[in-house]
Amino acid sequence: METPYQPIAGTVERSIRVSEKERLFSVIPSDPTLLKYRPGQFYMVGLPGYGEAPISITSGPGEALIELCVRAVGNLTNALHSLRKGDKIWLRGPFGRGFDLEELEGKDLVFVAGGIGIVPMRSLLKAVLGRREKFGRLTLIYGSRSPDELLFSEEMDGWRAAGMDVKLTVDRAEPLWKGNVGVVTTLIPKVEVAQKNTVGVIIGPPVMYRFVILSLNAKGLGPEDIFVSLERRMKCGLGKCGHCQINSLYICQCGPVFRMSELKGMVEAI
Amino acid sequence: MGNVNDFKFLSERGFQGLVKGLLKELKVYGTIVKDGFPAFGEISAPEELVLSSTPTHLSAKEFFFPQREVLLKFNIKTAAFSPVIESVDQAIIGMHPCDIRALSLMDRVFAAGTPDPNYLSRRSKTLIIGSDCMPDDYCFCKSLGNSEAESGFDIFLHALGKGFLVRTGSDKGRAALLKYAKLRAPSTKEFREFQGLCLKRDSSFKAKVDAPPAELPSIYAKSDESKVWQKIGAICTGCGSCNNVCPTCYCFDVKDEVKASLAEGERVRNWDGCTLEDFAKVAGGHNFRKTRAERLRHRFNRKFRYLSSTFDSLFCVGCGRCSRACLVKINIVEVTNELVSECHNK
Ligand SMILES: Cc1cc2nc3c(=O)[nH]c(=O)nc-3n(C[C@H](O)[C@H](O)[C@H](O)COP(=O)(O)OP(=O)(O)OC[C@H]3O[C@@H](n4cnc5c(N)ncnc54)[C@H](O)[C@@H]3O)c2cc1C
Ligand code: SF4
Ligand code: SF4
Ligand code: FES
């Protein structure tokens, strides 16, 4: 009999260290249907003996590989860091409903990413930049603790060239850093916003949301104009284990991407 | 209470014969006495059964959704996972109306969205034999509209002084009775005795929720900021017993267990509880429900509000198990009634 817990094997095609704590993997799944995903979705990624964890898709839709970027924080994620080209990795998914690009078409977009929030955001950025003409002004505000924790910095020039304003900031400056110092919210007032037609997208650590939402509100963006991707503990991806629940929503299935207006009245959401 | 034609009479000996027959074919679990308290356990002879009038400490959920269950076996060397879906033909004897109602909710949960083959295969191989009860100080199923089991069982037994009135709820139940039990129409006297017992039971409920069940979701929705949560959060020890004993708590954890050989292992699911501290904690240490007050608010809302929009039903069946099990005497009826009165005084 079939079980939804059965993972699908994938082969690691590339494993590169991208910062002190993060590694980027390119994975070829043995079942090509796993390649059908939307930005904002995730897989339950696992290894026998180490369990599973939700990991976001960081590649763009339509690519022939799945890219995953993993921060080593515990049992499984440290074990994943030992994977090299040719090794097996196990996937279930993709889960969640992710971003609906059509909803964003014709809008000016302000992307706000904090820390490894850039990982799922990158999938969305690639999708948007791949159809650049469909969107208005694009701005990415991305912050990390220190300059060497900034991920995908070698790709930023390409993103700028493709027509996106990229603003970086770090909490802690180092001697060679010439950019902005301070949390991401310090950059938001500097963004020009056409009130009626701008959508904000926020992905970052739990503490970040409240402040960024307030700054975007100050720019005239309301609950209909702000999307967030929420992190929760997840053990199944199937809407059953209960770990990811906020009120009547199971984040693994209904999310992790939400329009703020969908979270109205949910005291634990943000 | 029903119509006399819905019932058949089964003698005590006839019941023993039924159980003996079932024992030949299936694993049989039923209510027994364990450490002086009613509990579900496996039986090997009909005499071991003690049909209990009060609820068991643990519910019957473990027979469908065991506390620990293997989902997959894996071999680390050959890098292969294989599914494990274990189920045997079984009968559960002595489930009360609240337990049967809870089971029908669990059926919907595990069949919804992506169906859970482990639960569903056990469920499809189970014969449910319900039995009557007498409420204790904690039972409040009546005020939630759950005190009668209309469906969800294969056979239902109403114990009389001698023998039983029997209702059948499915073809499976009918077939088992046909095979192993001699039934006859009940006498007027027997039916009167049954009616008397029903009335006695019906008037014995002490605990009750002070609002119609249909209003409870909106009462809870207005109570996020109630002081009740701080009050009970201050005394809750976060032990998770209320989750364990509840027949409709189904949250779980999944983890890998590796054999000493380091070559093989199992992916295992275990009951988990939303009142436990780490339940909503993520990497980086952020806990989305840091305080016991928040965790209890979540648990109570799950029973009376959150799941009701998805499944169109309350998820508390009124068995009172969580209140009975709580060492610091947090009582679900008292908590709910405090919210009801706060709402009515607003
Ligand atoms: C939708 C989603 C997308 C994510 N995407 C990424 C990503 O792209 N890259 C990345 O590096 N991380 C991502 N994470 C976080 C990642 O899932 C956790 O870092 C991972 O679960 C830690 O597992 P571990 O076994 O290494 O740690 P453990 O040894 O299990 O524990 C370390 C910490 O993680 C917490 N934790 C345990 N299990 C989970 C769980 N299932 N979900 C969340 N926290 C848990 C524990 O409470 C503990 O604090 C994502 C999380 C979610 C919910
Ligand atoms: S919440 Fe308490 S009273 Fe309600 S079904 Fe669960 S254990 Fe029984
Ligand atoms: S049984 Fe009582 S003390 Fe234990 S977690 Fe539940 S409410 Fe808290
Ligand atoms: S991860 Fe299990 S319910 Fe969402």
ipTM confidence: 0.92
Whole-angstrom distance, CA of residue B255 vs CA of residue B257:
7
Residues A90 and A109 in one domain: no
For range B296-300, the mean pLDDT: 96
- A51 located within any domain: yes
Whole-angstrom distance, CA of residue B254 vs CA of residue A75:
14
Residues A176 and A80 in one domain: no
Q: Is the CB of B169 under 6 A from ligand 2?
A: no
Number of domains in chain A: 2
Residues from chain A that touch B309, judged by Cβ atoms under 8 A, are 248
- CATH number of the domain encompassing residue A48: 2.40.30.10
Residues A69 and A142 in one domain: no
Contact B74, B83 (CB under 8 A): no
Range of the domain at A114: 101-269
Residues A247 and A196 in one domain: yes
For range A130-138, the mean pLDDT: 93
Contact B283 A245 (CB under 8 A): no
Whole-angstrom distance, CA of residue B158 vs CA of residue B140:
20
Instruction: Count the helix, strand and coil residues of chain B and give each as a percent rounded to the nearest 5.
Output: 40, 20, 40
Contact A101, A17 (CB under 8 A): no
Whole-angstrom distance, CA of residue A137 vs CA of residue A147:
26
Q: Which of A64, A95, A126 is the last residue of a domain?
A: A95
Whole-angstrom distance, CA of residue B153 vs CA of residue B127:
8
Residues A234 and A125 in one domain: yes
CA-closest candidate to residue B174, choices B154, B157, B158: B154
Q: Which of A95, A120, A138 is the last residue of a domain?
A: A95
What pLDDT, on the 0 to 100 scale, is given for residue A194? 78
**A107 Cβ contact partners less than 8 Å away, ≥ 6 residues apart:** A135, A136, A197, A198, A199
Residues A136 and A233 in one domain: yes
Q: How far is the CA of B111 from the centre of ligand 1 (A)?
A: 27
Residues A241 and A164 in one domain: yes
Tell me the per-residue pLDDT of B195-234, one tens digit each, with 9 for 90 and over.
999 999 999 999 999 999 999 999 999 999 999 999 999 9
Q: Which two tokens stand for residue B332?
A: 């679900």
A16 has pLDDT over 80: yes
A131 Cα to chain B: minimum distance (Å): 33
Considering every ligand atom shown, identify the ligand nearest to the alpha carbon of residue A23 and give its number: 1
Tell me the per-residue pLDDT of B43-58, one tens digit each, with 9 for 90 and over.
999 999 988 778 899 9
Nearest CB to B306; choose among A2, A240, A248: A248
CA-closest candidate to residue B155, choices B136, B187, B137, B181: B181
What percent of chain B has pLDDT above 70? 100
Nearest CB to B256; choose among A51, A88, A231: A51
Q: Which of A80, A95, A110 is the last residue of a domain?
A: A95
Residues A67 and A176 in one domain: no
Q: Chain B, 257-286: which have a CB under 8 Å from a chain A CB?
A: 258, 265, 267, 272, 274, 279-284, 286
C-alpha angle A237-A233-B262 in degrees, rounded to nearest 5: 80
DSSP type of residue B179: H
Residues A62 and A148 in one domain: no
Pocket residues: Cβ below 6 A from ligand 3: B 236-242, 275, 296, 325-328, 330
| Beta bridge pairs of residue B73 | B82, B266
Q: Is the CB of A70 under 6 A from ligand 4?
A: no
- A150 located within any domain: yes
Contact B117 A253 (CB under 8 A): no
**Confidence bin at B1 (pLDDT 50/70/90):** low
- A255 located within any domain: yes
| A108-120: b (≥16 Cβ within 10 Å) or e | bbbbbbbbbbbbb
Q: Which two tokens stand for residue B192?
A: 């009167």
pTM as predicted: 0.93
Residues A106 and A90 in one domain: no
**φ/ψ of residue B263, rounded to 5:** -100, -30
Tell me the per-residue pLDDT of B121-175, one tens digit each, with 9 for 90 and over.
999 999 999 999 999 999 999 999 999 998 999 999 999 999 999 999 999 999 9
Residues A211 and A135 in one domain: yes
Tell me the per-residue pLDDT of A209-239, one tens digit each, with 9 for 90 and over.
999 999 999 989 999 999 999 999 999 999 9
For range A58-81, the mean pLDDT: 95
- CATH number of the domain encompassing residue A121: 3.40.50.80
Tell me the per-residue pLDDT of B237-284, one tens digit each, with 9 for 90 and over.
999 999 999 999 999 999 999 998 889 999 999 999 999 999 999 988
Residues A159 and A27 in one domain: no
**Confidence bin at B36 (pLDDT 50/70/90):** confident
C-alpha to C-alpha distances, A123 to A55, A82, B19, nearest whole angstrom: 13, 24, 61
- Cβ atoms within 10 Å, residue B159: 17
Q: Residues for chain B: how many in total?
A: 346
For range A56-76, the mean pLDDT: 95
